């Protein structure tokens, strides 16, 4: 699974650390790190929580175009 | 909306179940292998001791995998960490003393492994799990520092 650089960029744009985002969505920092590194595929519930915390849509953060 | 963090988050729950399932399969495989060895090759231990060994190996696998990959038990303070290690040290010390004390049987009696050998392995188990906890804590700290640096903080 590829790295989610859009999530990392959106988080940095909000000036949030991994820990801050993790606290905001109710998971551990390691889980946020795993999502950004592409090591873990989050549930739709967690995706939605992350989108709300970062003020983005699901498409903007998680949609991948099939080539 | 802020969600409350409970004991484990969804990734940790998933990983724990995954390693639990793998441990269960390992347990079944070991039970079958042990039965085969005892029936066909050689009775290497009393039934209870051999069963304990099989459980020990499956437990060891589960404990180390969960500690390294899941990171159950978020202990931030060094004092709390040291306090959490006290039961391990106590259990390990008592078990080690029991194993080292000459009793009716040593580690191996009549060509068979005794309960004392299993007790010694339990001490080994405690040491390995503590080592896994320490490795995980160091890795978390390193990853945390890297994340902070990439955040520009």
* Residue A67 included in any domain: no
Find the mean pLDDT for residues A14-29.
90
Q: Which residues form the domain of A32?
A: 5-62
**Closest by CA position to B48, among listed B60, B40, B38:** B38
The per-residue pLDDT for A64 is 80
**Chain A residues contacting B, CB < 8 Å?**
8, 11-12, 16-19, 23-31, 33-34, 40, 42-43, 45-46, 49, 52
Do the domain assignments include residue A26? yes
Question: For position B99, what pLDDT does the model report?
Answer: 60
Half-sphere exposure of B13 (CA within 13 A, CB side): 9
Residue A24 domain flag: yes
Question: Helix axis angle, B10-36 relative to A29-37, nearest 10°?
Answer: 90
What is the percent of chain A with per-residue pLDDT over 70, rounded to a whole number?
Answer: 97
Question: pLDDT digit string (tens) for B77-129?
Answer: 556 666 666 766 676 666 666 666 665 556 667 777 777 777 777 777 777 77
Q: What's the rounded mean pLDDT across residues B132-150?
A: 71
Residue B87: C-alpha distances to residues A5, B10, B52, B58, B92 (Å)? 43, 29, 21, 21, 8
Please tell me the distance in Å from B7's CA to the nearest CA on chain A.
10
Higher local confidence (pLDDT), A60 or A65: A60
- Give me the CATH number covering residue A44: 1.10.260.40
Query: How many other CB atoms are there within 10 angstroms of residue B74's CB atom?
Result: 12
Q: Mind listing the pLDDT tens digit for each residue in B15-34?
A: 889 999 999 999 999 999 99
CA–CA dist B113, B53 (Å, integer):
10
How many domains is chain A partitioned into structurally? 1
């Amino acid at each position: 699974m590829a790295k989610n650089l859009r999530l990392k960029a959106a988080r940095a744009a909000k000036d949030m650390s991994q820990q801050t985002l993790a606290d905001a969505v109710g998971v551990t920092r390691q889980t946020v790190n795993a999502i950004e590194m592409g090591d873990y595929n989050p549930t739709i519930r967690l995706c939605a929580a992350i989108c709300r915390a970062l003020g983005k849509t699901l498409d903007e953060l998680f949609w991948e175009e099939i080539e | 909306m802020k969600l409350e963090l409970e004991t484990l988050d969804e990734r940790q729950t998933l990983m724990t179940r995954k390693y639990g399932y793998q441990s269960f399969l390992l347990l079944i495989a070991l039970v079958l292998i042990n039965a085969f060895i005892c029936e066909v090759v050689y009775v290497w231990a009393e039934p209870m001791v051999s069963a304990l060994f099989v459980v020990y190996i499956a437990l060891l696998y589960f404990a180390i995998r969960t500690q390294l990959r899941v990171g159950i038990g978020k202990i931030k303070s060094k004092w709390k960490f040291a306090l959490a290690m006290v039961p391990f040290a106590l259990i390990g010390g008592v078990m080690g003393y029991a194993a080292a004390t000459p009793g009716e049987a040593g580690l191996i009696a009549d060509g068979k492994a005794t309960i004392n050998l299993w007790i010694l392995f339990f001490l080994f188990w405690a040491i390995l799990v503590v080592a896994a906890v320490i490795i995980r804590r160091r890795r978390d700290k390193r990853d945390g520092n890297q994340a902070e640096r990439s955040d520009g903080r």
